[in-house]
Amino acid sequence: MRKITIALLALILVGMLIPAGFSTDSNVVITYGETTYQNSEYKSIVDSFFQSQSNINVGNAESKIITASQVNEISGGITGKTYNSNQILSSALVDLNDNDNLQVSVDKSKITTITGNMYISALKSAGITAGHVYVTSPVSATGESALAGIMNSYEEATNVEIPESVKEAATDEIQTQAEVIDNSGVNADDLSKLVDDVKQEVSKDNVTDHATIVNIINNYVENNNINITNVDIENLANTIEQVQNVQGDVNNYQSQVSDFMGNATGSGFSLDGLFDWIRSFVNGI
């Protein structure tokens, strides 16, 4: 009994000595775009959104800063776009305590193009199926380069590199949808449903033929009265074909991460014991 009492007193003393806010919840991570983090007003706007939407004390969350160079590692190889350090605005809070299903809540007043469903579709293409992500920016941003942060952070958390083919496919999916929205003015949610439904059909039948994927999209577009151009259809077919062609790499990556965690699941990555998962949806523009 005396040993227990001493131990309890020691714990109380340690708690008194640790400054408020020092303790962190390893299952909650915030990623700040470097532009936002360096501007106290911007950071305050972002923190207020996260606090109000997630009901989580942001002071107790792990945090990381994502830089332009990290974003450009992915985006530059696909579209040729490069971002400057004053353009990395969007930030995200990832809550792994809420991990039954993948959810993405987007601040629609700031993220102007990419919707939560578009992020979910692209993340599932990379095999990520759980966690609740909140995405915002201090000022308007399209959010199209947000996957750079999430994949970079997932690599850091698991110590396993995501294959370049998988990164490119997921990032290209987001950027292609952004381009189609810009070109055709199609509703973003309608487009994300198109992509998700077509991906499911392609995956179910293991379709890899480009012409067949084009026909599937054409049928979907006609049946659902979606107004996009033939060029848009070709571009969507290319990105969906790319996603389908990298499924072997996705499966291999999932296996490596499951081995790392020591606890595989049937529907994607197990999150038990993973303290740091994806830390972000970053980047402005």
Which value, in Å, is the radius of gyration of the alpha carbons in the chain? 20
Other CB atoms within 10 Å distance of the CB of residue 41 = 9
pLDDT of residue 192: 92
pLDDT of residue 87: 87
Alpha-helical (H) ranges within 79-184 are 116-125, 147-158, 164-184
Secondary structure element (H or E) that encloses residue 27, with its range: strand 25-33
- Identify the CA nearest to 174 among candidates 86, 71, 276: 71
273 exposure class (CB count in 10 Å sphere: 0-12, 13-18, 19+): exposed
pLDDT of residue 210: 95
**pLDDT range class, residue 249, cuts 50, 70, 90:** very high
Q: pLDDT tens digits for 34-83?
A: 999 999 999 999 999 999 999 989 988 888 888 888 777 766 555 567 78
Give the least confident one: 9-23, 112-126, 220-234. 9-23
